[in-house]
Amino acid sequence: MKIRIIQNNIIPFKNFKAITLWPWIFCRKALKDVDVNHEMIHVRQQEEMLIVLFFIWYVIEWVIRLAIYWNFDEAYRNISFEQEAYDHEAEHYYLSVRKHFAWFRYLTKKSYEKN
């Protein structure tokens, strides 16, 4: 299915660039290539997790990480799906070489700390 980028003033919430809700990427303003690549990594993650399981896992992992870090931004940045997307968003070839469930190796890795 073709992924559509929808620019609007409602989704995502303010302070967020974009959100991927397969098969759409919602954004408030035009996205840079690096941002599109980040969201396309989420598209692949959602597809391999059969979409619904992705969101269930995402929320559970965020709650667990929030309990660990006690910081919304740090919890968000340490979600395994986000770590993979941030680590590879500038690599435009990444999706062509990405292994299935690549986000899994980030479950025990802390990649972001609030300064």
pTM to 2 decimal places: 0.93
Tell me the average pLDDT across 92-109: 95
Q: What is the pLDDT of residues 40-58, one digit of tens each?
A: 999 999 999 999 999 999 9
Domain extent listing, the chain: 4-106
In the predicted structure, residue 100 carries a pLDDT above the cut 50: yes
Q: In this predicted structure, what is the pLDDT of residue 51?
A: 97
Q: In this predicted structure, what is the pLDDT of residue 113?
A: 56
Q: What angle do CA 109, 43, 9 make, to 5 degrees?
A: 105
Q: In this predicted structure, what is the pLDDT of residue 114?
A: 53
Q: In this predicted structure, what is the pLDDT of residue 27?
A: 98
Q: pLDDT confidence of 21, banded at 50, 70, 90? A: very high
Mean model confidence pLDDT for the chain: 94
Rounded CA separation 110/100 (Å): 21
Instruction: Say whether 46 sits in a helix, a strand or coil.
Output: helix
In the predicted structure, residue 115 carries a pLDDT above the cut 50: no
What percent of the chain is predicted at pLDDT more than 70?
Answer: 96
Rounded CA separation 54/101 (Å): 11
